[in-house]
């Protein structure tokens, strides 16, 4: 919370304590719903309730929609039944569904009981879809008109429907069976001749998504076609709802956060950070992953143990062990990050698999040659041995090339078998490259030193 909002919060508390309702209403009225929600989250339950009774139903609903589900439920269940119903009537069905979907059954039931039957049915319908699907994030509040209407008649219907719609930028056209057959922008409708039939002026090439489409694919569609909203249809092409760009932004944030956690081997169980919670849930969630990687890293130790006689005879080789492992791990992580992002955004397609691997391999080879020359020269000057420099330079070149290739191959292969490529990143790749880098390093050292001894 910035200094300006802290000042408003302090004024709010003072005005609440002094019961200066008119001044408090004037203070809060100009605030954006997100700022108002931020203030509400800092107040006590009784203070929140007092403010909810001062605000208009629309302002209260907009502010609640910006809050966390637990806070939303706490506020609504703390109000009188009549006031809670008034606010819920102003909330969009998808916002209520998002809230109810995060609550326990008892709290969810309390909220649904406060709603009228029709609105509650819409919310239950949305809850029937997977939360990460198009149906799970759509809203059922949209504007549609029949293709048989004239432009003037459609505008008349819009005047009635617009107040309850999520957005009025697009007008969707349906036939007698409610199938999506076209779309109009608001501008196209307004400038059309009043007597022109909708079927004559609508665009029939409608971009839509299926109710069961994954939310990531929905985000790609909205981004690709620069849409403010995308219609959602079922198997019969019946228009079921729309997904607005603000929901897509939430999806992008959610998916980016999910990928970030998975990249670090963090499970879903502890993705809700709780500073005051106990540490054991986090320990139980992380320890299987880390234990598995620890045992996998023993393979690296076994490789080093195998070449122990070589290390004993040429101790200088030990100095560059961490350089080999660290350099390979960093290179693999770079390639992995680029490829995982490309897969997530659709920039990297499965048809381009070998091209992606070949590109990253060439990048790794070029970087490896540059690093190999620099590191090899450094090792030569440091230890006064051309052979040590050759081993170090050649090893880092090959390791960086292999690491880049591995960083591009692993996520693509995992995507091919239907899993999320983000799970392959971070610790897993680092552990694998530790082992391969040691194997390459000591194998080259053995060959070169054998040649020197002959």
- pLDDT tens for the chain, 454 residues long, are 678 888 999 999 999 999 999 999 999 999 999 999 999 989 998 999 999 999 999 999 999 988 887 888 888 888 888 898 899 888 888 888 888 887 888 888 888 888 888 888 888 888 889 888 999 999 888 889 999 999 999 998 888 876 656 667 889 999 999 999 999 988 899 999 999 999 999 999 999 999 999 998 999 899 889 998 999 999 999 999 999 888 888 888 777 666 656 555 555 554 554 545 566 665 665 566 556 656 666 677 777 777 877 777 677 888 888 889 888 888 888 888 778 777 766 667 666 778 888 888 999 999 999 999 999 999 999 888 899 999 999 999 999 999 999 888 888 777 777 666 655 556 677 778 888 999 999 999 999 888 877 6
The CATH 1.25.60.10 domain(s) of the chain lie at: 3-128
Give domain 3-128's CATH architecture: Alpha Horseshoe (1.25)
Where do the CATH 3.10.580.10 domains begin and end in the chain?
144-256
Evaluate whether 192 touches 212 at the Cβ level (below 8 Å): no
Rounded to the nearest 5°, which phi and psi values hold at 344? -70, -35
Based on DSSP, count helices (H) and strands (E) in the chain, helices before strands: 22, 6
The pLDDT score that the predictor gives to residue 275 is: 45
For residues 248 and 194, give the distance between their C-alpha atoms in angstroms, rounded to a whole number: 34
Q: Closest Cα to residue 219, out of 137, 144, 131?
A: 137
Who contacts 142 (Cβ-Cβ below 8 Å, separation ≥6)?
Answer: 165, 166, 167, 172, 229, 231, 239, 241, 242
For residue 416, count CB atoms less than 10 angstroms from its CB and return exposed for 0-12, middle for 13-18, buried for 19 or more.
exposed
> What φ, ψ does residue 56 adopt, rounded to 5°?
-70, 160
For 280-453, CATH number out of 3.20.20.70, 3.40.1360.10, 3.40.720.10, 1.10.357.20 equals 1.10.357.20
In CATH, the number for domain 144-256 is 3.10.580.10
End-to-end CA distance of the chain: 71
pLDDT of residue 278: 62
Q: What is the pLDDT of residue 92?
A: 84
pTM to 2 decimals?
A: 0.61
């Amino acid at each position: 919370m910035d200094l300006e909002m802290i000042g408003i919060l302090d004024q709010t508390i003072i005005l609440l304590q002094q019961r200066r309702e008119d001044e408090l209403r004037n203070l809060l009225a100009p605030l954006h719903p997100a700022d108002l929600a931020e203030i509400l989250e800092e107040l006590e339950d009784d203070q929140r309730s007092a403010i909810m009774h001062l605000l208009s139903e629309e302002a209260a609903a907009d502010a609640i929609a910006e809050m966390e589900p637990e806070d939303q439920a706490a506020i609504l269940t703390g109000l009188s039944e009549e006031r809670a119903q008034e606010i819920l009537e102003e909330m969009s069905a998808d916002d209520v569904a998002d809230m109810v979907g995060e609550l326990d059954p008892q709290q969810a039931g309390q909220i649904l009981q406060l709603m009228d039957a029709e609105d509650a049915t819409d919310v239950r319908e949305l809850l029937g879809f997977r939360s990460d699907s198009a149906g799970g994030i759509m809203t059922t509040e949209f504007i549609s008109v029949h293709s048989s209407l004239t432009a003037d008649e459609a505008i008349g219907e819009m005047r009635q429907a617009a107040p309850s719609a999520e957005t009025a930028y697009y007008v969707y056209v349906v036939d007698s069976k409610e199938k999506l057959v076209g779309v109009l922008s608001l501008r196209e409708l307004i400038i059309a001749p009043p007597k022109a039939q909708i079927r004559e002026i609508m665009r029939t090439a409608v971009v839509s998504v299926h109710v069961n489409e994954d939310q990531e694919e929905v985000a790609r569609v909205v981004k690709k076609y620069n849409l403010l909203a995308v219609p959602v249809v079922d198997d019969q092409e019946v228009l079921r709802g729309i997904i607005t760009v603000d929901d897509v932004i939430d999806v992008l944030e959610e998916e980016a956060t999910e990928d970030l956690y998975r990249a670090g081997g963090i499970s879903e169980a502890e993705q809700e950070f709780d500073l005051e919670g106990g540490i054991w849930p986090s320990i139980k969630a992380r320890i299987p992953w880390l234990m598995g990687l620890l045992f996998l890293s023993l393979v690296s130790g076994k490789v080093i143990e195998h070449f122990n006689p070589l290390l004993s005879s040429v101790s200088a080789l030990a100095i560059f062990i961490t350089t080999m492992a660290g350099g390979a791990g960093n290179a693999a992580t770079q390639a992995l990050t680029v490829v995982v992002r490309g897969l997530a955004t659709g920039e990297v397609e499965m048809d381009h698999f070998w091209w992606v691997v070949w590109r990253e391999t060439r990048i790794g080879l070029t970087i490896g040659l540059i690093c190999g020359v620099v590191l090899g020269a450094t090792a030569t000057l440091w230890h006064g041995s051309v052979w040590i420099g050759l081993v170090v330079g050649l090893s880092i070149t090959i390791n960086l090339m292999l690491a880049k290739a591995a960083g591009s191959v692993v996520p693509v292969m995992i995507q091919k078998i239907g899993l999320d490529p983000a799970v392959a990143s971070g610790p897993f790749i680092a552990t694998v490259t530790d082992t391969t880098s040691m194997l390459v390093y000591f194998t080259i050292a053995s060959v070169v030193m054998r040649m020197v001894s002959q």
